[in-house]
Chains A and B, each alone.
Chain A
Amino acid sequence: DVKVTQSSRYLVKRTGEKVFLECVQDMDHENMFWYRQDPGLGLRLIYFSYDVKMKEKGDIPEGYSVSREKKERFSLILESASTNQTSMYLCASSLGPRGNQPQHFGDGTRLSIL
Chain B
Amino acid sequence: QKEVEQDPGPLSVPEGAIVSLNCTYSNSAFQYFMWYRQYSRKGPELLMYTYSGGNKEDGRFTAQVDKSSKYISLFIRDSQPSDSATYLCAMFRAGSARQLTFGSGTQLTVLP
Contact = CB atoms under 8 A, between A and B. Distances in A.
B98 A110 contact: no
A102 B44 contact: no
B6 to A, nearest CB: 9
A101 interface: yes
Nearest to A105: B43
Contacts of A103: 46, 97, 100
Interface in A70-104: 90, 94, 96, 98-104
Contacts of A104: 46
B43 A42 contact: no
A108 B38 CA distance: 11
A94 B44 CA distance: 14
A96 B92 CA distance: 14
A57 B74 CA distance: 32
Interface residues of B, number: 25
Contact of A101 (B88, B97, B99): B97
A103 B96 CA distance: 12
A6 B31 CA distance: 30
A102 B49 contact: yes
Interface string A33-58: 10000001011010010100000000
Interface string B21-46: 00000000001101010000111111
Given A50-B98, A94-B98, A100-B94, A107 B43 contact: yes
B44 A105 contact: yes
The 8 closest A-B pairs by CB, nearest first: A105-B43, A107-B43, A105-B44, A108-B43, A42-B104, A102-B49, A43-B102, A106-B43
14 contacts: A6-B43, A31-B98, A42-B102, A42-B104, A42-B105, A45-B99, A100-B97, A101-B97, A102-B32, A102-B90, A103-B46, A104-B46, A105-B44, A107-B42
Interface of A: 4, 6, 31, 33, 40, 42-43, 45, 48, 50, 90, 94, 96, 98-108, 110
